[in-house]
Structure 1
Amino acid sequence: MHSSPSQPSLKAVLWDMDGTLVDTEPYWISAERALVEAHGGTWSHQQAMQLVGQSLLHSAGILQAAGVRMEARHIIDTLSSEVIAQVRNQVPWRPGARELLDDLHGAGVRCALVTMSEGPLASVVVESLAKPYFEFLVTGDTVTNGKPHPEAYLTAVDRLRRDDPSLGIEHCVALEDSVPGATAAMASGVITVGVPHQVPLPDDARMILWETLSGRTSADLAQLVTDRHLQSVPTPTGNTLEGAYK
């Protein structure tokens, strides 16, 4: 898809992984519970929900507070190894995710993965796909600041611009399922679609909410880019129609 000076078009989609592309949250929760219980503690569903979408380093600190007597790096490696083993056994794709990826691929829209999981797990998931849909991965171990900080998304846009200097924030859409992830995407300036799964997402004028990716196409995402552009076009009075994106 190509853009013109007057009408930007969809050039890239930035995908969150856990909870958006794949339903790995139950794997994480199971691994967290086993680790906490191995150290004599208890791990509730409410505690687990506090970790959804957070950086692994942040999550490790919460687990230490819950009684896990291990260094943060050891906690991260232990959890990741268990989740990788589960994913190798079965990849729990989210409804509509692979179909949307394939449609974007066919439409020539670039895709990047932006996840707080680390490289080894993200690579296992991506390698399970039928085609090389993702140009590159931005993972939790490649950024200094995890979500909800926008660094991961800004990094992805910067990498996309290396091959296409005309690409800007206005040409990108992010897909997220968690509050930290959506916060990061919105803070970066990209159009943000929230697809809630394990935890609800708040109403936010800067975010579009979809119940599911099932049935969604590249045309739906392209329309969001057009809509944002139209809402920012000056009116005859000199105002803008930023509306939901202000």
Structure 2
Amino acid sequence: MSNAPETDEPGRLAAVLWDMDGTLVDTEPYWVAAEYAIAERFGATWSEEQAMQLVGNALIESARLVKEGMGLPHEPEEIVEMLLDGVVEQVEREVPWRPGARELLTEIAEQGVPCALVTMSYARFVGPILEQLPEGTFKVIVTGDMVRNGKPHPEPYLTAAAALGVPAEETLAVEDSNTGARSAEAAGCTVLVVENHVPVAPGERRVFRDTLEGMTYADLAKVSSEI
């Protein structure tokens, strides 16, 4: 039995599914700093171009690219932990919220529409960010260490929708990367894209906005009608 609100009301969403890095919080610079720190630690080289290729990826895939790009002897799993050590330390000092994100989350909650967090970051990185939000902001949390296939595979978004008890086709996903948009689109979600550090290609289920700042739940509900 679905726990989601009734969706008979025109334009009403069954749920909103949120990406985290680059969408809810601007933590991409934290990841890039952690990558450069690893390169410096092991006397390797790294570039901004290489860093941007990692945006939106499953962490284990990013670790494989770091291993290859830096020529490290470590296993990808070890590199994941090194990356997490670096970003957790930074986010515990300051959570860099994206403009309008917390305000929009609050309004969605007031409308009684469930939200899920769908991130390829691991649980120990997500924790300090969730501590800054009211308890229950996200009814479901899907992290990269909970799924077999990370973004761009549809599994993360399908998992979130199933856990909420709603069809993915009746949800709106909020994303900032090509990898994430592909994942949500393949799951059947309508995708609201707010570009941040990387450009995102157009897609048949993608609607673009410049910012979340000033957006309301009514604005989100209208996005699906543009598809």
TM-score (normalised: structure 1)? 0.86
Shift in Å, 1:224: 2.4
The yes-or-no answer on 1:100 pairing with 2:99 is no
Moved over 4 A (4+): none
Shift in Å, 1:170: 3.1
Q: Give the corresponding residue for 1:109.
A: 113
Q: Give the corresponding residue for 1:76.
A: 80
Shift in Å, 1:16: 0.2
Q: Give the corresponding residue for 1:17.
A: 20
Counterpart pick for 1:32 among 21, 32, 35: 35
Q: Give the corresponding residue for 1:45.
A: 48
Shift in Å, 1:9: 2.3
What are the superposed Cα offsets for residues 95-117 of structure 1, whole Å, 9 maximum, x if unpaired?
00000000101111100100000
Q: Give the corresponding residue for 1:180.
A: 179
Q: Give the corresponding residue for 2:200.
A: 201
Counterpart pick for 1:67 among 62, 68, 71: 71
Counterpart pick for 1:128 among 110, 132, 148: 132
| Distance (Å, rounded) in 2 between the aligned partners of 1:131 and 1:71 | 36
| Distance (Å, rounded) in 2 between the aligned partners of 1:114 and 1:12 | 12
Q: Do the aligned partners of 2:194 and 2:209 also contact (CA within 8 Å) in 1? A: yes
Shift in Å, 1:8: 6.2
What are the superposed Cα offsets for residues 38-70 of structure 1, whole Å, 9 maximum, x if unpaired?
222111100000000001110111111122221
| Distance (Å, rounded) in 1 between the aligned partners of 2:61 and 2:212 | 28
TM-score (normalised: structure 2)? 0.93
| Distance (Å, rounded) in 2 between the aligned partners of 1:168 and 1:132 | 21
| Distance (Å, rounded) in 1 between the aligned partners of 2:123 and 2:146 | 8
Q: Do the aligned partners of 2:157 and 2:168 also contact (CA within 8 Å) in 1? A: no
Identity, % of aligned pairs?
Answer: 47
| Distance (Å, rounded) in 1 between the aligned partners of 2:75 and 2:167 | 40
Query: What is the total number of aligned residue pairs between the two structures?
Result: 222
Q: Do the aligned partners of 1:36 and 1:67 also contact (CA within 8 Å) in 2? A: no
Indicate the SS of the match to 1:10.
coil
Letter of the 1:221 partner, please give it.
L
C-alpha spacing 1:214/1:8, structure 2 compared with 1 (3 Å): closer
| Distance (Å, rounded) in 1 between the aligned partners of 2:101 and 2:204 | 24
Counterpart pick for 1:139 among 140, 143, 164: 143
